[in-house]
Structure 1
């Protein structure tokens, strides 16, 4: 999964940031918020619901300790709100029980690493202010052009044992600014090899830990050859083990600046297994691709997330096809195409985030990236490199992407065909089949008139 680290707001305020200090005593974590100004409500930028149950996760995990404040959920956002209509006190203390469950299209709030090791994501403490609690009800998913009060959030992790390290900077603690990282408490020792640092839960099966440490450098070397050097990249991998209570395999995580995090669970992981290995490899390949598509180059707006997620998916598919002879790239792309057709029947790709249908970013993005790959003569790495090279502001919009695909294959009308697939619902597959045809992607039609890749 690759998602935006924090919304870049038009209404950024001058002045001091929100200052958050997170400390641990025994098994108790307390977050102390120092607010720079008086406001009746402070919303949390990252308020995605829990994947299981679809409900807000903070009310079951956080307890407000300061009188006169309550934690509520309004619209799409969790928020600290003053009781009886009054302002939120300028200092608020919250007891944090680490929530280790999955969120919908966001980073796990807490990872367990070893017997006492805990990693907490600083982005979940980032706040913005609004002039009234009711204002939260109307806020969209993308706050880029929304008038909310944001002077930044600085998150400081503190540990009385002195064992804290900041993920991505394993040499020592530095104050965070909520740019997106994990603070580590009592974690296992880091291992450095092949230009990469790994922090691995001691409970993770040894065969998989060893595989992660050998496969990840190979993927990064491949991307460097394809996409160019990523400035100053010395990645850290956080690998957490969530136990073998359930059958099968579960794998999730994400990527942050210089950091890949993954969490695995399931009885199938206990012994060396080709399916588990392939799933782990695809995850690592996708997330590592975000060091380029997501960090060297970012999307302009949330609606353009498909550029990053679909592009990373195609890079991962091509990587696995090169690394694993038995990997079926055509079948993987067909699953993306089928998922995309289903998603865009229900609504436009550009509105997938508002609908909570974020899998469309991956599926439709992979199909559009496949068209770009063909436009670039079968070299998607070259297309990605071009995207990065021509965008010195490190951001790309859908309009800019469409311009690039037309320049890569002039005269085919690919941008003209792709634009409605992004901007409008597609009640039938004809728009997608027209794009596949124009991009010279071979397929045949099934009896239901949906395309099957050849």
Structure 2
């Protein structure tokens, strides 16, 4: 797949102090292993993943096959249109949950791809796929409309830290060590790739992408994005 990730350098990148969140997460890549560790700050009978749309081509869910819960007493199951963390003993989801996952490079139905694979081995992860929100009524989840946002579901975004054992990641137009995103709606790129700066645009392009495509993007991106301010929180 030919991939291009861009961000403006000329716009201000601001960070707001995060209010108290019901969940935090650390996403870690260590060599070929990917892991997400959740710290849940309240007891709940279920934790719902808002980004749960199925794969467009097959209409099948993807998270149950690609994410493996290694914490005892909890598993992922499908309820209606959503993936859900559910306790195996019928009480509450453990407050600390560890999951090993394989980045899912697939096109979802009306949602950002969970992961994008570059031809040189780099991987971009969609930040908001790691959002989880508590739900007191497990049965009610199955009746909810598909594609609802975190806010529509009555929750708030998870505070997510991204850590690569190999070094900084690329996000919001620059390389950063252990960036923290809250509802970032962006991609975090793990792995080495050349960052090209042209006319105020920091462009991380797949090495296989033709030069003329990169030139066109560098030309129209500042015009389309002028006035946008990137924020977290």
Shift of 1:138: 1.7
Q: Which residue of 1 aligns with 2:108?
A: 103
For residues 101 and 66 of structure 1, the distance between their equivalents in structure 2, rounded to whole angstroms, comes to 26
Choose from 31, 39, 42 the match for 1:34. 39
Q: In 2, are the aligned partners of 1:114 and 1:188 still within 8 Å (CA)?
A: no
User: For residue 236 of structure 1, what is the aligned residue in structure 2?
Assistant: none
Deviation at 1:47, TM superposition (A): 0.7
Residue of structure 2 in register with 1:154 after alignment: 159
Please point out which of 205, 227, 230 is paired with 1:230.
Answer: 227
Match of 2:128 among 123, 132, 137: 123
Per the TM alignment, residue 183 of structure 1 is displaced from its structure 2 partner at its CA by 1.8
Q: Contact (CA 8 Å) 1:15, 1:151: kept in 2 or not? A: no
Partner of 1:213: 214
Q: Does the CA-based 8 Å contact 2:169-2:189 persist in structure 1?
A: yes
Q: Is the 1:101–1:108 contact (alpha carbons within 8 Å) kept by the matching residues of 2?
A: yes
Separation of aligned partners in 1, 2:150 and 2:188 = 27
Cα gap change, 1:222 to 1:170, in 2 (>3 Å):
closer
Matches within 5 A, 1:331-410: none
Asked if 1:170 is matched to 2:174, the reply is: yes
Partner Cα distance (2:80, 2:34) in 1: 28
Alignment equivalent of 1:63, drawn from 56, 59, 68? 68
Distance in 2, Cα, partners of 1:72 & 1:139: 15
CA contact (8 A) 1:43 1:129 kept: yes
Post-superposition Cα deviations, 1:2-44, rounded to whole Å, max 9, x if no partner, equal xxxxxxxxxxxx7334111011111110000111101010001
Distance 1:98 1:177 in 2: 20
- The 2-side partners of 1:146 and 1:193 are apart by 38
Deviation at 1:114, TM superposition (A): 3.8
> Unaligned stretches of 5+ in structure 2?
1-18
Q: Is the 8 A contact 1:113 1:187 kept in 2?
A: no
Identify which of structures 1 and 2 has the higher relative contact order when contacts are C-alpha pairs closer than 8 Å and 6+ apart.
Answer: 2
Q: 2:96 aligns with which of 77, 91, 99?
A: 91
How many pairs were matched up?
A: 211
**Does the aligned pair in 2 maintain the 1:70–1:80 contact within 8 Å?**
yes
Partners of 2:162 and 2:150 in 1: CA distance = 28
Distance 1:171 1:113 in 2: 17
Q: How does 1:193-204 map to 2 (within 5 A)?
A: 193-202=198-207, 204=208
Instruction: Name the counterpart of 1:51.
Output: 56
Contact (CA 8 Å) 1:18, 1:153: kept in 2 or not?
A: yes
Distance 1:116 1:49 in 2: 25
CA distance in 2, matches of 1:219, 1:112: 24
Give 1:422's aligned residue: none
Q: What is the DSSP-based 3-state SS (H/G/I as helix, E as strand, rest coil) of the residue aligned with 2:26?
A: strand
> What displacement does 1:106 show?
0.8
Distance in 1 separating the partners of 2:156 and 2:32: 32
Q: Could you report, residue by residue, the CA deviation over 1:265-297 in whole angstroms, capped at 9, with x for unpaired residues?
A: xxxxxxxxxxxxxxxxxxxxxxxxxxxxxxxxx
Larger radius of gyration: 1
**Structure number having the greater strand percentage:** 2
1:118 is displaced (CA, Å) by 1.1
Q: Write the distance in 2 (CA, Å) between the matches of 1:169 and 1:217.
A: 13
* Aligned-residue offset at 1:161: 1.5
Q: Kindly state the Cα deviation for residue 146 of structure 1 after the two structures are TM-superposed.
A: 5.5
Q: 1:186 aligns with which of 181, 191, 208?
A: 191
CA drift of 1:176 comes to: 0.7
**TM superposition score normalised by structure 2:** 0.82
